[in-house]
Structure 1
């Protein structure tokens, strides 16, 4: 065991700032895994917030503790009637899905192509105030706001409990990137057609929405008091679109996000699902040592180190297949390689590649954490 000379918070903050901590900070991004690890069905975790909370806490302790807790519970925090992402329908285990299924997003068209003009005129918040009831099939904005407010109070209560135990939930709020928000509202296929057929309408709608999305996240962080924002990025990557699409419809708004959040002392955490290899050089235009590039296993993390070394902290990227099908020895070898190569010189957080899979082997997740606690890396 490495002799620790930093607190969990100090270790995490040092990595973000590109400093070399006493050891590499570690964090499995776990939600459904925690419920399964406690022998519960996913439906049980979703039906009762206390059950979900206890599953997360107990699994944290069973794993021996680590430096950041991805989420206090299974849900996301939002203020009433305000959306940090597209208000998609989530299918819940034991309700719309089998008792032990994973929750799913029911992706469908939520507004028409003609609505881009309305969004451009109203902005993100006012549009959903007007459109939500029609989109949801009769549920009012007031009804969803009441649920959001209840869950936000629960989120804040749980954060306070965790902090008393020296456990630090990762983010104070989350927000979709511009392309992610609009793609989820139109569906990937329809949005892609829109990009080529009505690009000016999309641009005008995004221009009118960006400030609302930023402010919605800031309002949540003002209540949760955790100065980190989890930015959901996936569909703006080179995996999906040419760089000229990224340059017009993702990058300008991501820069606005970063400027706004950093001005409030908030760390942007870029959750880069899919392969962002083509896009990584753009990140060097952002302030040094202020953001986190979180990779899910599809982007070459070793190439990312070459590009971002000395400029931005990298988080990742123990893959789902290895956690589920691999052996503890394979986990050990890969985590040691990550610490040796990506962790060289600091600026690295050892995490799962996206969320920890529900059927990950417990001993594999434990090995990932133990490697960070025991392996300093090659000098």
Structure 2
């Protein structure tokens, strides 16, 4: 990394971190969590990007060079071959199941039956192997066949390749154009995990009325595993926030949210916050009935992306004194409006919501792919003009914040613990050299099983 690129990287990351922490910075960051606009204007389609990592990287490098005012962005896609090896039915993939020009689609249904809570809670691995995987993996329908064993072998290989692709992409973006990543790692609210992948919206709504205790117990039971999965992917230097997408709160009444969603969500978030991590949370849909809860987190620990159809000015009143807010630019303005309308909206947001900091301006869920290029340019230019707080330099980036408390995370689980396996061997040499990689791979395999 050249000195000029390093300076640019530090400016962008420092500006982003300061906004999240509600600390002074030189200007409003142009930090877009998701930027599908970059894909639409790249000349490539979704299938090409999801299947070819070199195209994916090229799109991001080209966009970063074309718009150097952008501090941080990502293309929120996944490497498609990691779905293909098991025929993972939860996702519909561009060019395979749907048009090559379409964004990947999540296919939610009741992959877990209403009477299977007990097995889900008491035997998470057995439940997945015996009941769940044959339903969600097309390659696992013939459970025990050579083909099913090959699918699991390939999935392990794909996981390693996918991790290497992500590391190389982040390293080259940093070293070639000085671009940090907006998030690292992912935490899922237990209620979202249970409803998204297992019961579906219809199933979980019925369960809240018919078997509420099972829903609550399941959320508590899976929280330790979700925390370990988060820690495995989070930035060890704690420079970048952990991403959280909240899917179901917009469908819940305040009482349902307080009873079923918030307890385990807050518990997991607070454990990670106390360990020194920050978050970027997408408040999907209309979260207004639940906004007051965001103010319960320590100041400057949770950047909240608010969705279309919500009032950013009310959000500022509800929790903007404690947490940074991202949003405020209606998608319809970016897609159908004029540059003058974009500039006027940015000016208003900077003078009100962002007056004392704590603001990132973007569309409701992302910068939509159909944004007019002239409107995106107007957005950046207006932020440069109206979003400046001082003529001084951007703050220097920070790393390794000290934990605010003694946090003991749950022990990572394994299918075959070392104490069981070592009985199979004589071990005349150094046992520790054998144990460490055994346990590392056991934990990785367990996390893969739980995260599907």
1:149 counterpart = 2:160: yes
Q: Which has the larger radius of gyration?
A: 2
Residue aligned with 2:305, SS = strand
Pairing of 1:1-379 with structure 2 (within 5 A): 7-71=11-75, 74-75=77-78, 89-123=90-124, 127-128=127-128, 131-135=131-135, 136-139=137-140, 140-164=151-175, 165-185=177-197, 186-221=199-234, 227-237=240-250, 240-376=251-387
Instruction: Tell me, in whole angstroms, the C-alpha distance in 2 between the residues paired with 1:137 and 1:253.
Output: 32
Post-superposition offset of 1:226: 5.3
* 1:119–1:127 Cα contact (<8 Å) kept: yes
Post-superposition offset of 1:88: 6.0
Closer/same/farther in 2, CA of residues 121 and 359 from structure 1, 3 Å limit: same
Residue aligned with 1:298, SS = coil
Instruction: Tell me, in whole angstroms, the C-alpha distance in 1 between the residues paired with 2:35 and 2:53.
Output: 13
Any idea what the Cα deviations from partners look like across 1:39-85, whole Å, max 9, x if unmatched? 222222222111122112212322234122234x62279x99xxxxx
Task: Mark the runs of 5 or more structure 2 residues left unpaired by the alignment.
Answer: 1-7, 141-150, 391-452
Residue aligned with 1:280, SS = helix
Match of 1:84 in 2: none
Any idea what the Cα deviations from partners look like across 1:315-356, whole Å, max 9, x if unmatched? 113222221111111111112211111101111122222122
Closer/same/farther in 2, CA of residues 230 and 41 from structure 1, 3 Å limit: same
Closer/same/farther in 2, CA of residues 206 and 243 from structure 1, 3 Å limit: same
Any idea what the Cα deviations from partners look like across 1:237-286, whole Å, max 9, x if unmatched? 3xx11111111221112212222221332211111010111111112211
Task: Mark the runs of 5 or more structure 1 residues left unpaired by the alignment.
Answer: 81-86
* 1:11–1:22 Cα contact (<8 Å) kept: yes
* 2:243–2:281 Cα contact (<8 Å) kept: yes
Residue aligned with 1:7, SS = helix
Instruction: Tell me, in whole angstroms, the C-alpha distance in 2 between the residues paired with 1:341 and 1:56.
Output: 32
Closer/same/farther in 2, CA of residues 372 and 75 from structure 1, 3 Å limit: same
Instruction: Tell me, in whole angstroms, the C-alpha distance in 2 between the residues paired with 1:76 and 1:182.
Output: 24
* 1:27–1:68 Cα contact (<8 Å) kept: yes
Select between 174-183 and 18-27 the one with higher mean Cα deviation.
174-183
* 1:90–1:105 Cα contact (<8 Å) kept: yes
Closer/same/farther in 2, CA of residues 216 and 315 from structure 1, 3 Å limit: same
Instruction: Tell me, in whole angstroms, the C-alpha distance in 1 between the residues paired with 2:219 and 2:16.
Output: 33
Post-superposition offset of 1:132: 4.7
Instruction: Tell me, in whole angstroms, the C-alpha distance in 2 between the residues paired with 1:346 and 1:188.
Output: 37
Closer/same/farther in 2, CA of residues 56 and 157 from structure 1, 3 Å limit: same
Instruction: Tell me, in whole angstroms, the C-alpha distance in 1 between the residues paired with 2:157 and 2:130.
Output: 17
Residue aligned with 2:139, SS = coil
Instruction: Tell me, in whole angstroms, the C-alpha distance in 2 between the residues paired with 1:363 and 1:184.
Output: 37
Instruction: Tell me, in whole angstroms, the C-alpha distance in 2 between the residues paired with 1:49 and 1:233.
Output: 28
Quick check: which one's helix share is greater?
Answer: 2
